Amino acid sequence: MRTFRLAMAQMNATVGDFDGNAERIITSIHEARALGADLIAFPELALPGYPPEDLLLKPQFIRENRERLGLIAAECRDIAAVVGYIDADTDIYNAAALIHDGEIVGSYRKMYLPNYGVFDEDRYFAAGSECPVYTVNGSPVGVNICEDIWYATGPAVVQRAAGAELIVNINGSPFHAGKRAFREKMLATRASDNGLFVAYVNLVGGQDELVFDGASIIFGPDGEVVARAGQFEEQILIADLEVEAVFRSRLRDPRTRKERATDLAHIGKPIQPLDETAEVYAALTLGTRDYVRKCGFGKVLIALSGGIDSTLVAAVAADALGSDNVVGLAMPSRYSSEGSILDAMALTDNLGIELWTLPIEDAFNAYLGTLAPKFEGTEPGVAEETCSPAYGAT
């Protein structure tokens, strides 16, 4: 039985950090090779980071991306790798390089460029027009990128007709609540409709306002899950695919000829997806951690009113950054109740974070004096109360 050992590197890339991203990629290649993988796949634009946005308008950014790809290729020996990068000729492309034995042997250019929601790819990239299939260790492999797999008559159909037994789909797919289940239903349909393996590898981490959940997954030709990576964490997923079963199945099915396997082994323990509440909390934690880390900050200050909003923010920050890197800030004024102050103190004790207490009555009184001519004839009320940091309006 011909098997194919596939590795998928669910990595946390940083936009513009070519050295850091390339180091992560090279390290993962070496790890996958040591585990006997035939191919390791990395996410969409893993080398430059996703989404690079207006950095794509800088020629130097494109050149650096290509230079680092050459360094990665030199380290890729006795294993194949699919690496997301920016390809260029007279235009630029969202592309996936196939690397083997020190050389870039092929490049797939993304065909369907999303231009809705958080995506703006049609502004930056030209669309590809070819659907190559590569032979890796005796097995035909089709490579495509993110949006390409969402179309029922997209590149996967062309690659299946050209003999692909495995589709490697690399992604930069942002998280939102409920998306994972919808995405997996689509991927299962692509796998079963085309009678092949579909391997989906996704970015993980926060980048500005976006959070990528990972949740990389492999489906078999029957539409069933073969292997699943964790959510919101870096991981290399390894699976052995009995790709010869795909070939045997096609010999018995004449329909594929007119259009011109199913036993699987998972290395490691099966992983169950998070429930919806846990997904959202994990996304908040990861997004906070990566925003602080990637922007070069060390600690954060959080104004604590004793209410549920600042309590949740403080809990997320402590889980994301560690208690030593979070400082709570209480700013009592004439509107602060004893309960709110005690609640803020209990919160910092429970989370193990430092508490600064800075009374703001003098500063608040100075503001009221400045505004007194405009407030003449009125009684203090909601306006004064909601301007006080005791209510979290900082």
Catalytic residue numbers? 44
Tokens 């109740």, residue?
Answer: 337
Contacts of 352 (CB under 8 A, 6+ apart): 318, 323
Pair type for strands 103-109 and 92-100:
antiparallel
Pull the structure tokens for residue 281.
């909390």
Paired strand residues for 39: 6, 80
Paired strand residues for 139: 136
Q: Give dist(CA 351, CA 337) in Å, integer.
A: 22
Q: Taking a C-beta distance cutoff of 8 angstroms, is the pair 189, 220 a contact? A: no
Handedness of CA 79, 12, 168, 192 (dihedral sign): positive
| Entry field: residues in the chain | 394
Q: Give dist(CA 246, CA 220) in Å, integer.
A: 9
